[in-house]
Chains A and B, each alone.
Chain A
Amino acid sequence: MRQITYREALREALRYNLINDERVFLAGEDVGVVGGGMGVSKGLIEEFGPKRIVDTPISENAIAGLGIGAALTGLRPVVEIMYIDFVTCCMDMILNQMAKIHYMFGGQVNVPMVLKTVTGTSGGNAAQHSNNFYAMFINTPGLLVVTPATAYDAKGLFNTAIVNENPVVFIEHKRIYNIKDDVPEEYYTIPFGKAAIRRQGKDITIVATQALVFDSLKVAEEMQKGGISCEVIDPRTLNPLDKDTIFESIKKTGKLIVADEGCLTCGFASEIASLAAQELFGYLKAPVIKVGSPDTPAPYSPPLEAAYIPGERNIREAIIKIMKYSI
């Protein structure tokens, strides 16, 4: 099968929807000539022109408001907030308006829009370009939260997001844009709320998101040599969440590690841990272990940043720790 990168898969999905639905447009900072902060929309302005690929001022409230106003009046906007850090500049638009309009207005109108943005720590971007605080979107009823890890999922989930009638926060990840995957050339969708079992195993369940899916798979491979079998589950969408797949795995293994790049306190990992404690108390054979960014802002200095980003070493440590409960 043809292999393309996560970035190319996203561009392909965008392009397909721009071709097939006149109501779709992309707007955001530098999405045009530059092709977006991460190069996802490169070349699209040449193909679709400035009406459909809209460069905006550095004006996040206007960008989010554009999406909401357009969605309320019959369009299918895709608006881009260059880094997830910058959503703080338009949080009222996202949390109070976009998320709640359908509910507040008694279901009179839908807000079918995609707000795409980028998470992940890397490259010395430091504290204001490295946040991973998407947990607040899961904490806001009314939003759907999508976190693709693979190129295949990026394309399929984007295609689903754009035809969904709800506001979708679509979160891409900085460290995986260049990872290639088998991606069919034809159109396909991936349903929201359906996790992917990336690797089957029987001793430990690792629920991992985005970059940490790849780290978990590497460590799982390594552990297999020592006879420890890890099951790696990628929820793919944080809301809706495929609790069934996660719960089935925990029932089987009795051990849970959650690897997510959000800060450890009150993050997505905390929510999975709390669900396990609440719903599967009798099945747990060990304490749940969370792997995530430490509760500090992201540092700039390379060795500190390397220590900050959760990855293989943290997962390895977690596995060693959790396996002590085996006997």
Chain B
Amino acid sequence: MEISNRKKTEMLRIMKRIRTFDETCQSLFVSGYIPGSLHCYTGEEAIAAGVCSNLRKDDYILSNHRGHGHLIAKGGEFKFMLAELFGKKTGYCKGIGGSMHLASLELGILGANGIVGGGICIASGVGFSIKYQNLDKVVVCFFGDGAASNGVFHEGLNFASIHKAPVIFVCENNLYSISMKQKKATGVENISIRAAGYDMPGETIDGNDIIAVYESSAKAIERARSGKGPTLLEYKTYRWRGHYAGEPGDGLLYRDKEEIEMWKTKDPIKRFQENLINNKVLSINDISSMEKEIQEEMDKAIDFGNNSPYPEIEYLYKNVYV
């Protein structure tokens, strides 16, 4: 598959933006500037960036508790995301939802979710709806290996299968459901083989190789768009940090330092960046200016968040009902 240099550059930018955003949020949380829970995506950036680079603005995604990467890759802006994390009125959800309920209907982001697996059956419903209305759209549902142990995984995939709904189920297998090793949590090594049970294609792919992610998801999205039905994609990856920001040991209570370090050598960003430099797609200078722009965007977002007001207390009672 031919990928333009422009597209490759854009994908690197998305990954770097995700890394910058989440690492900044981690520091802001630890230093007390972010009042509530968040889950860092660091190490898994290639999946959101690779998959969403195949989507159109009006395609839908459903995200999960580790959702910042998905939002950024689908067009989310730092400032509105960070304002939300600060609990400010200018956030995507007016500061009411926070990290785990970030959503932007305008961008086709039907919400992060605080319940593991919570988006899977909704995604099947969205897929049904797209088909019902004969729309030229697809829906991508991001969830982790932990969600694959929940009953909704079965119900959602089965339902999408019987309706040949245009849903791409993206399992981000970071090898741990909080502290539990995936090997102990699921009876199969590769979750994608379960696709056979739903008569849909399933594939396990290196989730730290953005080109592989891009190409495999392009195929699944095209399949969904042309009415052939859903696909289950499993991307093997690793989260560098703990399950949540502020977790004691930052992931070391249940993982060896060696294991974490080994995965850091597979850094999806470094890998892709070296590839682009070696193939003369980008120069070191190009990359420095890209990083500088991203840092400026981040700094502006912090100012925007800081200077934004909290929602008025009346917001407590707003929007419970339409």
Contacts and interface: CB of A to CB of B under 8 A. Distances in A.
A65 B124 contact: yes
B321 A25 contact: no
A61 to B, nearest CB: 4
Interface string B115-150: 100101111111111101100000100000000000
A222 interface: no
Nearest to B112: A104
Interface stretch (B153-161, B213-221, B259-267): B153-161
A94 to B, nearest CB: 12
Nearest to A60: B155
A165 interface: yes
A69 B319 contact: no
A62 B157 CA distance: 9
A189 interface: no
Contacts of A77: 125
B80 to A, nearest CB: 11
A68 B125 contact: yes
A69 B124 CA distance: 7
B122 A72 contact: yes
A165 B319 CA distance: 12
A73 B126 contact: yes
A105 B101 contact: yes
Interface stretch (A95-103, A263-271, A309-317): A95-103
Interface in B279-306: none
Contacts of B14: none
A51 interface: yes
Contacts of B113: 97
B151 interface: yes
Contacts of B159: 56-57, 59, 62, 65-66
Contact of A101 (B94, B111, B124, B125): B111
Contacts of A107: 94, 318-319, 322
A59 B155 contact: yes
Contact of B118 (A67, A92, A106): A92
Interface string B65-98: 0000000000000000000000000011111110
B171 interface: no
B110 interface: yes
A66 B125 CA distance: 4
A105 B319 CA distance: 9
A105 B111 contact: yes
Contact of B132 (A59, A70, A103, A166): A70
B124 A109 contact: no
Contact of A106 (B97, B115, B133): B97
Nearest to A100: B101
Interface string A80-119: 0000000000001100110001111111111010000000
Interface string A190-221: 00000000000000000000000000000000
Nearest to A96: B115
A89 to B, nearest CB: 9
B117 to A, nearest CB: 8
A102 B159 CA distance: 25
Contacts of A75: 129, 132-133
A93 B132 CA distance: 21
A165 B115 CA distance: 24
Contact of A70 (B93, B114, B126, B155): B126
Contacts of A104: 93, 96-97, 101, 103, 111
Contacts of A56: 159
Contacts of A65: 120-125, 152, 155-156, 159
A106 B93 contact: yes
A69 to B, nearest CB: 2
24 contacts: A56-B159, A57-B158, A62-B159, A65-B121, A65-B123, A65-B152, A66-B121, A67-B125, A68-B125, A69-B123, A70-B125, A70-B132, A73-B129, A73-B130, A74-B129, A74-B133, A102-B320, A104-B96, A105-B97, A105-B101, A106-B92, A107-B94, A108-B103, A112-B322
Which 9 A/B pairs are nearest by Cβ-Cβ distance? A69-B125, A65-B121, A106-B94, A106-B93, A165-B322, A107-B319, A62-B159, A69-B126, A66-B125
Interface of B: 60, 91-97, 101, 103-105, 110-111, 113-115, 118, 120-130, 132-133, 139, 151-152, 155-156, 158-159, 162, 318-322
